Chain A
Amino acid sequence: MSFQDPFNSRRALGHGGCSCGQHTSEAEHQLALSTDARMQRVVESAVVRALFPQDATRRAFLRAVGVSTATAAISQFLPLGSITDAFAQGAAPEKKDLKVGFIPITCATPIIMAHPMGFYSKQGLNVEVVKTAGWAVIRDKTMNKEYDAAHMLSPMPIAITLGVGSNPIPYVAPAIENINGQAITLSMKHKDKRDPKSWKGFKFAVPFDYSMHNYLLRYYLAEAGLDPDTDVQIRAVPPPEMVANLRADNIDGFLAPDPVNQRAVFDGVGFIHMLSREIWDGHPCCAFAASKAFVTEMPNTYAALLRGIIEATAFASKAENRKQIAEAIAPANYLNQPQVVVEQVLTGTFADGLGSIVKQPNRVDFDPFPWESFAVWIMTQMKRWGQIKGDVDYAAVAKQVFLATDAAKFMKEAGLPVPTSTTKTFSVMGKAFDPAKPEDYLKSFPIKRS
């Protein structure tokens, strides 16, 4: 993947690639324009036909007053523009039967719950949510087009777009699924070793190399002075195998998605050392992702699907709905976990594994807005740990993959507060991150690979 030189004044950067500035490329602009124009034409002719049932009268009227006067006269009484808009909103999806892949973890809550709770069918879609064995499989099945869209870890669409760990294919993440909601869980035998400085030689598991879990764990360890590549072992283990491995003493702990952490507590094999929100409050975890091709080839289907998911996310963001959601997604068809475990994760009232009940309503939260700054931070960590090398056009890739404008549109419809900007600053373990200066941020870390 090569990006245009951002410092070339004669060039427009990635996103502003078309004449109106709303589309990534001129071709996409044309496509969007032509569908809009067609829609407008359909509405106009229906209105005019209704006004002049006899074609001869219509022609005589147009000849007599001229086209522009006629249009103006008609639109005065009938707002053609808003009719066209209303029509576009109800535009039928190109494809109704969709397959969306997911990994059985609570991060996928909006994607999963939209099925039993009817958020997809409300959009006129017949979505099959398919449980998938692991991140590599979900990536391959989405790239094969067996799945139309999928639940992915938020760094994955970036990695796929950049061609890291796979062939480069333009991917997009129009919505974040959840924020927070991960935890570091340690084996019971380490209940006295709460200081990360004493973790030298530990074996950790994370769900995937390109995951927030990997970057957060590495960040946390590095802040404690441990080099995550040499002082400890970090391996990618599929979430279902983590508890079994912890029980078998193959690993000392993991930074994992829920319900894995709570399940380890539930089975008495581990305790929750810290929630990921204590590392970075409000960090993104998983995303709803699709190929760029899906978005451009089936814009109405994409819009309907995204609208369904964002409405589900809005529903999930309300604390009072969480118990009901836990009941809907715990059965074998979805997460296949005891309901009491899922409930503890979603409500934030949970057993910590050491004998006390913790009440933290923000343990997991749902906010679909794909901040471009999240993508920039992810890329700084990819570069920090040597997953990507050389120059990275942070802002352009972030804009290309994290479709903040699309999310904003549907968030407004769903009644969620919409941010006015697509970037923001935040701090990770007390250290401020400015998305405008990713390279400086990267340079400030003493432990890094590049």
Chain B
Amino acid sequence: MATRSWASTNVKASLVSVIILALFLTGWHLAVGGTGPTTKMDPEYAKLMGITATQGKSAMPGPMDVAAKLWEHLRDPFYDRGTNDKGLGIQLAYSVARVALGYLLAVLVAIPVGFLIGMSPLMSRALDPFIQILKPISPLAWMPLALYTIKDSGISAIFVIFICSLWPMLLNTAFGVSSVRREWINVAKTLELGPARTAFRVILPAAAPTIFTGMRISIGIAWLVIVAAEMLVGGTGIGYFVWNEWNNLSITNVIIAILTIGVVGMILDQGMARLQRMVAYAD
């Protein structure tokens, strides 16, 4: 009985989602469909003008335009027509690779340091002011400094990802480690476990859910930041794609980029959520 009502809620929810989507798409279609006022133009002159000017068509594309363009991209996601014109798939791969690299570096730093802070009240107090000051800095504010010191825009982008993924993981690890129950550590002491074994066999599993929460927050932020960073430095990546299409005032492509950014972000987040569930335990 309980499962049936759960299932029916699920079905109902999907139904409502579909209705919302349909309403949104229809509204969008109607809103951009009409043509605005047009002035009479000499045909020679009209040939030199765009359709927004000649037919009064809205500069905003409709859902059908976006769908058609999206299909075009999906049919050939990995084309390479030169340095500045690559397929959507290649651009996404560049962005994901940058995020992965910066993020892994951040994991390598944040988890050991977080452990240290969590286990030692002294270090916790000593490092606290630095963390408090560095944490709220917008990652993009680091960009000019990174470009100036690292002297390589590719590495600078990875550095920006590193610095923005660092803090949530660091703080969550520290919090998770410091809030491991005293009793469990005492039991470990009674059983005469060494500090390394205590750390790996008792504290790490106990703090894992909190650590993974931090990692999940971080991957979300990293994905948010990469788009902005790539718009700034250019070259490759989905952020560059957005900038390049904006350059051509192609709102259709910008909308497609927004959609793909959302989908990839969701996949990354759900992946982390799955990992998080794997280490979860009932108290």
Contact = CB atoms under 8 A, between A and B. Distances in A.
A334 B247 CA distance: 11
A380 to B, nearest CB: 30
A144 B84 contact: no
A133 B232 contact: yes
B246 interface: yes
A265 B41 CA distance: 14
Nearest to A268: B53
A128 B236 CA distance: 14
B248 interface: yes
A55 interface: no
A141 B249 contact: no
A131 B84 contact: yes
B208 to A, nearest CB: 41
B52 A268 contact: yes
Contacts of A424: none
Interface residues of A, number: 37
A297 interface: no
Interface stretch (B43-51, B158-166, B186-194): B43-51
A413 interface: no
Contacts of A422: none
Contact of A144 (B152, B231, B249): B152
B76 interface: no
Interface stretch (A26-34, A38-46, A195-203, A350-358): A350-358
B249 A131 contact: no
A157 to B, nearest CB: 19
A268 B246 contact: no
Given A332-B85, A355-B42, A146 B247 contact: no
Contacts of B59: 247, 267
B249 A243 contact: yes
Contact of B49 (A241, A266, A331, A337): A266
B235 to A, nearest CB: 7
A247 B53 CA distance: 12
Interface in A121-175: 128-133, 137, 140-141, 144-146
Contacts of A333: 81-85
A351 B54 CA distance: 12
Contacts of B4: none
| Secondary structure of the A contact surface, majority rule | mixed
A371 B282 CA distance: 78
Contacts of B232: 133, 137
Contacts of B248: 332, 336-337
B51 to A, nearest CB: 9
Q: Which of A129, A268, A350, A357 has the most CB of B within 10 A?
A: A268
Contact of A146 (B52, B153, B240): B153
Chain B interface residue number, banded? 35 or more
Q: Which of A145, A338, A351 has the most CB of B within 10 A?
A: A351
Given A267-B50, A268-B49, A268-B50, A240 B246 contact: yes
B125 interface: no
A344 interface: yes
A268 B148 CA distance: 41
Nearest to A167: B148
A334 B84 contact: yes
Contact of B234 (A133, A243, A332, A338): A133
A355 B249 contact: no
Interface in B127-168: 147-148, 151-153
Contact of A355 (B41, B152, B231): B41
Interface in B25-53: 39, 41-42, 44-45, 47-50, 52-53
A331 B244 CA distance: 12
A263 interface: yes
Contacts of B151: 144-146
Interface in A316-354: 331-334, 336-338, 340, 344, 350-351
A429 interface: no
A133 B231 CA distance: 7
Interface string A222-254: 000000000000000000110110010000000
Nearest to A104: B247
A130 B82 CA distance: 10
A352 B175 CA distance: 64
Contacts of A340: 47-48
A101 to B, nearest CB: 9
Given A133-B231, A133-B233, A141 B153 contact: yes
A244 B249 contact: yes
Nearest to A99: B83
Contact of B153 (A144, A244, A247, A351): A144
Given A133-B231, A144-B151, A355-B45, A267 B52 contact: yes
B243 interface: yes
B148 A140 contact: yes
15 contacts: A131-B244, A132-B234, A132-B235, A133-B232, A144-B152, A240-B243, A243-B249, A266-B48, A266-B50, A332-B248, A333-B82, A333-B84, A340-B47, A356-B45, A357-B45
Interface of B: 39, 41-42, 44-45, 47-50, 52-53, 59, 81-85, 147-148, 151-153, 231-235, 240, 243-249
Interface of A: 104, 128-133, 137, 140-141, 144-146, 240-241, 243-244, 247, 263, 265-268, 331-334, 336-338, 340, 344, 350-351, 355-357
